[in-house]
Amino acid sequence: MQCLNLNWLRSMARVSPAQFVRQVRQEISRVSWASRRETGTATLTVFVMVTIAALFFLLVDMVLSNVVQFVLGLGG
């Protein structure tokens, strides 16, 4: 049985923990972070859309429930 091929792991550049931390900090500084206002707007948008979806599915559930009760009521 063949073992897992770990050649890719051996070929990766070895860096010290300190170098790794420097690279991570450098990469984080390149990230474009959202402003407080953008974050608040996105959060509000999500809450509004979730509320609309919840009301829609509540309405659909009520309609389907009434249809099923009507159909089952005709048989009895």
User: Is the pLDDT assigned to residue 9 strictly greater than 70?
Assistant: no
Question: Which backbone phi and psi does 13 adopt, to 5 degrees?
Answer: -70, 135
The Cα 59–Cα 34 span in angstroms is: 35
pLDDT in tens, 30-65: 999 999 999 999 999 999 999 999 999 999 999 999
The answer on pLDDT for 68 being more than 70 is: yes
What local confidence, expressed as pLDDT, does residue 30 receive?
Answer: 92
- Indicate the domain borders of the chain: 51-76
Beta carbons of 34 and 42 less than 8 angstroms apart: yes
